Amino acid sequence: MCRGDARDAGPPPGLGGWEAVVLAAVLAGASLLAVPSLHAQSDAEPSATSPAGETDSAALATLAAWADQVWLSLLDRDGAYYGRLAEEGIFQRFNPEMDHEYELDARLGLFDPGEDARWAELPNGFRVAGGSLNNPHILNVVDWRQETHVSGPVDLMARYRRERSLTAWRDYPWVGVRWRDALGTPWTVRVGLGVHFFKPSADVEVALARSWRDGEDRSWTLEVRLAALDAFNEAIFQGLGVRADDVHAHYDYAGAPLAARTTLRAAASRWRAELHAGSSRRSEVQVTFPATGRAPFTQFEQVAFLGALLQVTPLERVTLALYGTWARADIERRAPASGLGFTLREQTVTVAARARTRLNPLWAVETELARVRRPEWRTPGGGARREHRDREVFARAALVRYPEAGWTARLAYALLDRDAGYQAPWLTGRNQGLITEAGHRFRSGFEVTAGLRWDLDHFGRDRFEGGHLRLSAAW
């Protein structure tokens, strides 16, 4: 479990949730009033948006990255920071190595929702982000995806995800084959394999997907996935004759661990919507430790998630996105021999909004407001159930320059106000930051951005908060 009792109480609580909401609203209004009308772009730097007079329909946010992250926490339990069998749970959101600025550093130093939305549309690409966490450590994320035509309707697909943070320590390659218009139907079939260093942890996915348009020129995409988790566990230990004492921990499932996920997307000229949902079958696995003689236990696990997003363009230059997400992970460990059993439910609920106001084809003001809750319910073996509450408000406003090709820039203010409760008091606090970024987009699809973060809470004493770098390429 998280070792919050080993830490100091941390900084005092900051603003309440409603105070932060009011501050964010004032900030957004001030940003719009303070920015003068800017000159239209030159012919040398065409806009990434539609010409003047047309609707700004570029994606403002997506839930694809969030859903992929939850799905990966289920498929790649080995990649969690504390490992597959940690008492910290499946999501592992509380780490004593975090400080009260960790969440703000992760939000500002890695990819923002707009960058995630652009990435979600790319079939081929590469991106990397690194953000300074403290003196010796840097948060970093690497994504790579490639599709290669093999023959006829068959494509080879490959993906890779690397993550180094205080919640995950993961390297996850995935390879698959896609069959378009399978058997003369409008459906696409995909079969993929998640490759793990520990052979029994490999997972197999089968997916069906199709796209279509209705009579009002709306486009729709539906995808359904079914995954077999730890797909070769029984074959390796039973069929290949691998001995249990050859591994640190031996897993014996009572039934096949399965998970399913579905994604529905719709888009029209002035709106777009997403729906993501998934759940795993409640699995039962007996874990023994033949090599070390540790006491065995039986563990039950289940993950479920649901998210919805709606983006609308009510005015020619104004785009709004509203979204909410819910994710839950349950663990029940029965350990009668050691008395170290427990139950744990982790839950994360987010309600958020983003807005973009185009000042001209080059410049825009973007604002964001999110409310996050991270409750946990833990029952130690033979003990009483304890509930932990964690509440957070995040707000950001930015002046952004983002052409189709040319120099990019961002000046942003961000506020994170968090009350992390009794379990992680060192994460409680209010933190404000200023972000300055500059970069360049090339017509080839390559983009580089470098930025500096400034601490507004102690600007006169320790103003420099860290730097970050992002690279991306599309082809």
DSSP result, 116-179: HHHHHT-SSEEEEEEEE-SSS-EEEEEEEEEEEEEETTEEEEEEEEEEESSSBEEEEEEEEEEE
Phi and psi at residue 432, in whole multiples of 5°? -125, 140
b/e sequence 243-280, b meaning 16+ C-beta within 10 Å: eeeebebbbbeeeebebebbbebbbeeebbbbbbbbbb
| pLDDT for the residue 242 | 67
pLDDT tens digits, one per residue of 127-157: 999 999 887 889 999 999 999 999 999 999 9
Residue type for position 243: R
| Region of residue 6 (left: phi > 0; alpha: psi -120 to 50; beta: else) | alpha
pLDDT tens digits, one per residue of 228-265: 999 988 888 766 666 666 778 888 899 999 999 999 99
First to last CA, the chain: 44
**Residue 424 near residue 436 (C-beta atoms within 8 A):** no
Which parts of the chain register pLDDT below 70?
A: 1-55, 238-245, 460
Classify burial at 54, counting beta carbons within 10 Å of its beta carbon; exposed 0-12, middle 13-18, buried 19 or more.
exposed
Q: What does DSSP say about strands 188-194 and 363-373: parallel, antiparallel, or unpaired? A: unpaired
Joined tokens for residue 167? 């919640």
| pLDDT for the residue 51 | 42
Residue 404, classed as helix, strand or coil, is coil
Phi and psi at residue 251, in whole multiples of 5°? -110, 130
| pLDDT for the residue 241 | 65
- Residue 89 makes CB contacts below 8 A (sequence gap 6+) with 329, 331, 344, 346, 376
Residue the block writes with tokens 């970069």: 439
